[in-house]
């Protein structure tokens, strides 16, 4: 504005002041009686519908007007209010003499105090009211406004076209006061004091609210009080209280009045009267104007010094703000630019198309959360509004209307201050079982819960915990201890508190308040600011939910509740596709979750795993099961309810079983969801597992496998071990609960075991297919990836018998009887049962034997555990099938650097294999044709489920002596014979047949073994192995056989067999081989091992060059020849083949052949002779 414009404005303002003084000094009675335009004094300036009760159609009011004293002719026109008959005395009594000359100052004096207004007579009140009415109608005021507000009128078309002299121009300008500045605004602010003292003076108010006043019963109480200013204010107060029920036009008028009052609290007469003393006590230093007084009073609303009446009026005012943000001067002045820039007042952006606080606030919050710019001043005001919303339920119309019943019955009728009523309602929203110390049977109505959800969106306390004073006060100690380093905002503090939910620093009060907030957060992903900001685009693209914060607040949208599940499902699909891509499979690419969103999903899922109530899907589906199975304790503790449901998985309702199954699958894939496990095992993970610090990415897949492998380490934490074992037990309930097993074997399961769900059943089914294919040497039906994972599962099951519930059921009594104090894990219980196999019940014995068969082909935990280092040293485990590992260890067990404990275990397994060939996959494969050919008699007389007690192996050993076995089978049996020569227990038939003889005649050799036969720490086999590694017991039996001391025929036959076996191959006679090793190398080194070639070479050398043989070898060979001859003599003849074998093996075979041939010749000659005689006799008989 330039100098010239300012001069013109000052001139106009001077003219206005002069005119105003003239008007101020006039006799009001002249104005009362003088017609203004076409309106008579008794007419209403604003048309009123028939039946509307007003001062103008009231007879008493009309009589009062006619009774007013008329001015005498010729009396000066200028007259002051203090000189009027109706009000003069009262003005002198109530007002300062200094203002007597200023009628406007007198009006302020009479209106600014409710007590002053109550002391005024009815005549004075009516006189003053008519004076103010005529001021608004006086055409001179309109013309004054025309001069002072010329520029504004030219811009406000609505007001410039109004007819002058009908009191319409000034109210119209007041209605648009936010667009008015300068001297025009000063003029209008003066007029506001007049207009807002009575709702009937407000532009269009009576026209649009007359019916509503009657409908809502907001009219005056008695005819005598028709012009009472306080009653006039009460009408507005009544309409404001019932704003939600008003028609659109009247509602607009009430809100417009509130907007115009926003600048100066003096204009809200009822609030002004109610809060004058409170203003002096609490806001004395705050200057009036700009809404500052309102702001101060709002901040002190819950101050102890605040009067009840002022609180009520402030609440009414705040509810009006809820309907129109322009009623809040400070907020609107700070945010109006942002509101305009972001289109928050447009219908296409805001559903209701108006300025309701919720819509404007949500629109601005949406801009913030979608990374748009909002001014700092506006953000500060937004925070203050959000804080007020969480503190005072009464300023939220939806809460007041929809939650009235709950507040009155369960929340002390709203008397709880500082946000406690809102938290009371939040607590009621939770199921009764989750309500903590404030448990009640009252169920929150659906409409009230919707209102609370809307409040949570509007106030958004999750993004900044300071917005919720109740939560802040309850959790401040926890924040100071655990989250002091966290910057408030973006839900960071709330997230930190959730991470400390079950820590030692968490207090009960903070936990309850936090869970009340989380009830709503877990049902709407938008309330978690970090999650929303990082995942909103993914949620929109993948899950079909809006990517904006701004939505219809009262529209029920279940998609918001399932966003986390949807996004996590997509994450799993991404991972599966990655695996398929690596395997070379073809698939259609889909939109995936971003890395930032993945991090947030993992964080949220980890936090929600703390409680069932943080998982709405689980709680809703499992409420009945929780009551039935998990209600034994008042404080179930961290994650205990989920574990309880997992423990009772088989007994759950179908819907609950489904969601718990899904959670358990997720828990296996993401171990962080098992809060108890992770709390106990995090140090162990850091110690034993090579993972990233944050346990992200593919590392999480290996965590459980790593923990399981290391759970029996000496320095493993006991609590961690218990958690691992619980995880394993749960995973056995369904093979899908082991995600690595499921992913590796799902195709094989679908094809070969599709009716199996229990993990044990699936393992047994797949193991059977693998075993059959292995033994038959067919192409494997189960793919290599599945077989590798199947080995892991069988090893885990073999480690802990509790993971094999069928075996536990079958062997329960046997375990109690024979292995009562034995640890169930680390394969100790399994080994105990194997040691007592002969004494087990039939059911237990059969199932244990079946498990041994599976272990032999798929994986033996004890072998892998004890011989881990030897396997790594001597065997290529990665490229080697499981049935090849034990033969590899057997081959290397006699090496010097072979571990003693591993060697003992290998021997134990050899003993078991020799007892029943079905536990020896190598023998089964290589002797597949020989067994039915030579041992069919044994197989036909033995049941399939019974152990063969070494009969088949002994049968094959006999055919080894006869040199009838196939080449591959011969090699296997030769190794069996060789090993049993070192340890008689590896020849089960010899051991059982000669047990008494061993004890009686070979006591020194066997003393240690028999002394501790029933030792709990070491079994009989271990004792024998440690004392008889060079075959001394077998050698003792041979010597006693040679001396004819042994009389037991069965034992003698078995010793004869052993002696004959050593005759076939010197390598199976450990003593002879050791004594003649140099001689063999010298004389027979170029001969192939097997079929007695080297033994025959050595014997020939002994016969041809006896002096060249070493004395020790020569001496032992002589003894062996005696044994062989004696064995040949005592061997029972089972057929012509045995006779031939004995002759061929005899040193006097040439003599025997000569004798046999001579005998045959004699028989031949005798036969010929006798035959001719008999022939002649027959011929003579015929000729007779």
Residue 517 CA to residue 498 CA, distance in Å, equals: 11
What is the pLDDT at residue 79? 62
Host H or E run for residue 856: helix 842-857
Which stretch of 141-155, 244-258, 397-411, 1135-1149 has the lowest confidence by average pLDDT?
A: 1135-1149
What is the pLDDT at residue 44? 34
Cα angle, residue 675 at apex, residues 671 and 679 outer, rounded to 5°: 100
Beta bridge partners of 39: 36
Q: Calculate mean pLDDT across residues 25-40.
A: 36
Helices (H), 544-653: 563-582, 595-608, 616-629, 640-647
Q: Give 1008-1050 pLDDT, tens digit per residue.
A: 444 433 444 444 444 444 444 567 888 888 888 888 888 888 8
Residue 717 CA to residue 724 CA, distance in Å, equals: 11
If DSSP codes are grouped into helix, strand and coil, which group holds residue 920? coil
pLDDT winner (highest mean) among 550-564, 794-808, 1067-1081, 1088-1102? 794-808
Rg of the chain on CA atoms, in Å: 52
Alpha carbon 762 to its chain centroid, in Å, reads 27
CA quadruple 477, 483, 485, 486: dihedral sign: negative
Residue 912 CA to residue 768 CA, distance in Å, equals: 20
1121 contacts: CB under 8 Å, gap ≥ 6: 1099, 1147
Q: Are 488 and 465 in contact (CB under 8 A)?
A: yes
Instruction: Give 351's pLDDT tier (boundaries 50, 70, 90).
Output: very low
Q: Are 948 and 935 in contact (CB under 8 A)?
A: no
Residue 833 CA to residue 855 CA, distance in Å, equals: 15
HEC-encoded secondary structure of 230-295: HHHHHHHHHHHHCHHHCCHHHHHHHHHHHHHHCCCHHHCHHHHHHHHHHHHHHCCCCCCCCCHHHH
Beta bridge partners of 116: none
Query: Is it the case that residue 55 has pLDDT exceeding 50?
Result: no
Q: Give 1145-1156 pLDDT, tens digit per residue.
A: 555 667 777 778
Which stretch of 410-419, 832-841, 969-978, 988-997 has the lowest confidence by average pLDDT?
A: 410-419
Which stretch of 85-94, 265-274, 472-481, 1041-1050 has the lowest confidence by average pLDDT?
A: 265-274
556-570: b or e for each residue (b if 16 or more CB lie within 10 Å)?
A: eeeebebbbbbbbbb
Residue 484: Cβ-neighbour burial (10 angstroms; 0-12, 13-18, 19+) = exposed
Residue 459 CA to residue 425 CA, distance in Å, equals: 15
What dihedral do alpha carbons 605, 610, 616, 619 form, nearest 10°?
140
Residue 389: Cβ-neighbour burial (10 angstroms; 0-12, 13-18, 19+) = buried
Q: Give 505-517 pLDDT, tens digit per residue.
A: 999 899 899 999 9
For residue 60, give both structure tokens: 């008493």
Q: Are 428 and 350 in contact (CB under 8 A)?
A: no
Tell me which DSSP letter residue 430 carries. Answer: S
Residue 291: Cβ-neighbour burial (10 angstroms; 0-12, 13-18, 19+) = buried
Residue 486 CA to residue 495 CA, distance in Å, equals: 10
Instruction: Give 829's pLDDT tier (boundaries 50, 70, 90).
Output: very high
Q: Give 98-118 pLDDT, tens digit per residue.
A: 888 888 788 778 776 666 766
Beta bridge partners of 36: 39
Instruction: Give 708's pLDDT tier (boundaries 50, 70, 90).
Output: confident
Query: Is it the case that residue 715 has pLDDT exceeding 60?
Result: yes
Beta bridge partners of 78: 26
pTM above threshold 0.75: no
If DSSP codes are grouped into helix, strand and coil, which group holds residue 78? strand
Residue 1096 CA neighbour count, 13 Å, CB half: 11
For residue 836, give both structure tokens: 């007592």
37 contacts: CB under 8 Å, gap ≥ 6: 137, 139, 165, 166
Query: Is it the case that residue 657 has pLDDT exceeding 50?
Result: yes
Q: Give 126-184 pLDDT, tens digit per residue.
A: 777 677 766 666 666 667 777 778 788 788 877 777 776 666 677 677 667 767 777 78
Residue 733 CA to residue 652 CA, distance in Å, equals: 12
Q: Give 3-16 pLDDT, tens digit per residue.
A: 455 444 444 444 44
What is the pLDDT at residue 587? 44
Which stretch of 209-223, 266-280, 753-767 has the lowest confidence by average pLDDT?
A: 209-223
For residue 208, give both structure tokens: 């649009």
Report the Cα–Cα distance between both ends of the chain, in Å, rounded: 175
Provide the percentage of residues in the chain whose pLDDT is more than 90. 9
Instruction: Give 898's pLDDT tier (boundaries 50, 70, 90).
Output: very high
Give the chain's length. 1184
Residue 1016 CA to residue 1022 CA, distance in Å, equals: 12
Host H or E run for residue 901: helix 900-915
Residue 930 CA to residue 969 CA, distance in Å, equals: 7
Provide the percentage of residues in the chain whose pLDDT is more than 70. 76
If DSSP codes are grouped into helix, strand and coil, which group holds residue 52? coil
For residue 1170, give both structure tokens: 């006798």
């Amino acid at each position: 504005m330039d100098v010239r414009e300012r001069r013109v404005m000052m001139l106009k303002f001077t003219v206005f002041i002069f005119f105003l003084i003239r008007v101020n000094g006039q006799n009001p009675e002249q104005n009362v009686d003088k017609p203004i335009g076409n309106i008579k004094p008794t007419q209403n300036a604003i048309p009123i519908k028939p039946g509307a009760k007003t001062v103008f159609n009231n007879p008493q009011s009309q009589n009062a007007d006619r009774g007013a004293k008329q001015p005498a002719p010729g009396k000066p026109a200028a007259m002051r209010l203090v000189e009027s008959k109706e009000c003069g005395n009262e003005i002198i009594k109530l007002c300062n003499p200094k203002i007597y000359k200023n009628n406007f100052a007198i009006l302020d004096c009479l209106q600014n105090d409710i007590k002053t207004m109550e002391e005024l007579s009815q005549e004075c009140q009516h006189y003053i009211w008519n004076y103010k009415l005529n001021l608004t109608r006086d055409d001179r005021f309109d013309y004054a406004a025309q001069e002072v507000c010329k520029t504004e009128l030219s811009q406000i078309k609505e007001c410039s076209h109004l007819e002058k002299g009908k009191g319409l121009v000034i109210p119209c300008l007041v209605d648009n006061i936010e667009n008015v500045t300068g001297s025009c605004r000063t003029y209008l602010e003066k007029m506001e004091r007049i207009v807002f003292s009575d709702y009937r003076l407000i532009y269009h108010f009576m026209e649009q609210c007359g019916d509503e006043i009657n409908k809502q019963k907001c009219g005056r109480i008695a005819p005598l009080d028709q012009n009472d200013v306080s009653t006039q204010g009460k009408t507005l107060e009544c309409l404001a209280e019932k704003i939600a029920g008003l028609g659109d036009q009247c509602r607009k008028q009430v809100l417009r009045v509130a907007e115009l009052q926003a600048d100066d609290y003096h204009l809200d007469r009822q609030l002004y009267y109610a809060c004058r003393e409170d203003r002096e006590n609490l806001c004395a230093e705050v200057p009036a104007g700009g809404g500052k007084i309102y702001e101060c009073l709002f901040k002190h609303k819950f101050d102890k010094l605040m009067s009840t009446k002022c609180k009520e009026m402030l609440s009414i005012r705040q509810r009006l703000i809820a309907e129109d943000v322009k009623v809040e001067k400070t907020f609107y002045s700070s945010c109006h630019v942002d509101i305009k820039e972001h289109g928050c007042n447009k219908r296409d952006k805001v559903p209701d198309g108006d300025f309701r606080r919720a819509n404007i606030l949500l629109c601005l919050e949406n801009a913030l959360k979608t990374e748009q710019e909002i001014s700092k001043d506006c953000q500060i005001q937004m925070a203050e509004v959000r804080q007020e919303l969480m503190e005072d339920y009464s300023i939220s119309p939806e809460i007041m209307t929809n939650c009235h019943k709950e507040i009155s019955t369960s929340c002390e009728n709203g008397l709880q201050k500082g946000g406690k009523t809102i938290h009371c309602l939040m607590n009621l929203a939770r199921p009764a079982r989750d309500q903590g110390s404030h448990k009640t049977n009252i169920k929150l109505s659906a409409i009230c819960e919707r209102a609370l959800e809307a409040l949570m969106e509007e106030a958004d306390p999750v993004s900044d915990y300071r917005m919720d004073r109740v939560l802040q006060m309850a959790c401040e100690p926890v924040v100071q201890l655990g989250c002091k380093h966290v910057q408030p905002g973006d839900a960071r503090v709330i997230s930190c508190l959730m991470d400390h939910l079950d820590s030692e620093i968490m207090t009960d009060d903070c936990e309850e308040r936090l869970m009340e907030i989380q009830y709503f957060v877990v049902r709407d992903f938008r309330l978690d600011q970090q999650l929303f900001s990082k995942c909103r685009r993914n949620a929109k693209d993948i899950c079909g939910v809006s990517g904006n914060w701004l939505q219809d607040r009262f529209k029920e949208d279940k998609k918001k509740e399932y966003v986390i599940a949807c996004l996590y499902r997509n994450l799993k699909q991404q991972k599966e596709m990655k695996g398929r891509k690596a395997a070379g499979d073809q698939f259609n690419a889909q939109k995936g979750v971003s890395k930032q969103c993945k991090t947030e999903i993992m964080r949220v899922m980890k936090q929600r795993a703390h409680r069932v109530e943080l998982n709405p899907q689980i709680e809703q589906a499992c409420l009945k099961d929780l009551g039935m199975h998990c209600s034994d304790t008042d404080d179930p503790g961290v994650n205990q309810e989920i574990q309880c449901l997992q423990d009772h998985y088989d007994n759950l309702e179908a819907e609950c079983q489904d969601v718990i199954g899904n959670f358990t699958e997720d828990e296996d894939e993401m171990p962080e969801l098992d809060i108890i496990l992770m709390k106990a095992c995090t140090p162990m993970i850091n110690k034993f597992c090579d993972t990233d610090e944050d346990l992200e990415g593919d590392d999480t897949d290996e965590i459980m496998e790593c923990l399981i492998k290391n759970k029996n380490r000496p320095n493993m934490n006991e609590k961690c071990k218990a958690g691992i074992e619980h995880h394993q037990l749960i995973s056995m309930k369904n093979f899908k609960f082991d995600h690595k097993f499921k992913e590796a074997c799902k195709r094989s399961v679908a094809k070969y075991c599709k009716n199996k769900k229990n993990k044990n059943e699936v393992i047994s089914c797949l193991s059977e297919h693998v075993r059959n294919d292995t033994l038959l040497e067919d192409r494997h039906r189960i793919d290599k990836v599945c077989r590798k994972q199947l080995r892991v599962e069988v090893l885990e099951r073999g480690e802990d018998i509790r993971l094999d519930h069928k075996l536990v059921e079958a062997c329960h009594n046997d375990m109690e009887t024979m292995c009562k104090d034995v640890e169930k894990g680390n394969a100790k219980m399994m080994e105990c049962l194997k040691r007592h196999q002969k004494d087990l019940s039939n059911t237990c014995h059969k199932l244990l034997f079946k498990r041994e068969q599976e272990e032999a082909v798929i994986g033996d935990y004890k072998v892998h555990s004890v011989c881990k280092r030897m396997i790594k040293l001597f065997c290529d485990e990665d490229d080697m099938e499981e049935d090849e590992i034990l033969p590899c260890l057997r081959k290397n067990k006699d090496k010097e650097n072979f571990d003693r404990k591993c060697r003992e275990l290998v021997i134990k397994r050899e003993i078991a294999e020799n007892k029943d060939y079905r536990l020896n996959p190598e023998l089964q494969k290589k002797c597949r044709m020989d067994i039915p050919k030579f041992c069919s008699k044994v197989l036909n007389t033995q049941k399939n489920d019974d152990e063969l007690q070494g009969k088949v192996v002994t049968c094959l050993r006999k055919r080894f002596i006869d040199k009838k076995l196939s080449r591959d089978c011969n090699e296997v049996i030769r190794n069996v014979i060789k090993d049993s020569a070192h340890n008689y227990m590896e020849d089960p038939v010899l051991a059982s047949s000669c047990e008494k003889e061993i004890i009686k005649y070979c006591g020194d050799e066997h003393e240690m073994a028999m002394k501790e036969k029933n030792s709990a720490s070491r079994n009989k086999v271990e004792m024998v192995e440690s004392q008889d590694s060079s075959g001394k017991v077998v050698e003792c039996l041979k010597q006693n056989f040679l001396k004819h001391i042994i009389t037991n025929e069965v034992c003698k036959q078995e010793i004869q067999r052993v002696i004959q076996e050593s005759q076939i191959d010197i390598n199976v006679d450990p003593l002879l081989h050791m004594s003649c090793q140099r001689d063999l190398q010298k004389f027979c080194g170029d001969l192939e091992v097997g079929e007695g070639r080297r033994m025959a070479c050595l014997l020939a050398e002994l016969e041809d060059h006896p002096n060249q043989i070493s004395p020790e070898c020569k001496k032992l060979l002589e003894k062996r020849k005696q044994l062989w001859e004696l064995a040949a003599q005592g061997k029972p003849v089972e057929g012509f083949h045995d006779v031939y074998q004995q002759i061929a093996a005899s040193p006097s075979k040439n003599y025997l052949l000569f004798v046999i041939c001579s005998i045959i010749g004699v028989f031949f000659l005798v036969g010929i002779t006798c035959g001719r005689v008999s022939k002649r006799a027959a011929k003579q008989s015929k000729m007779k």
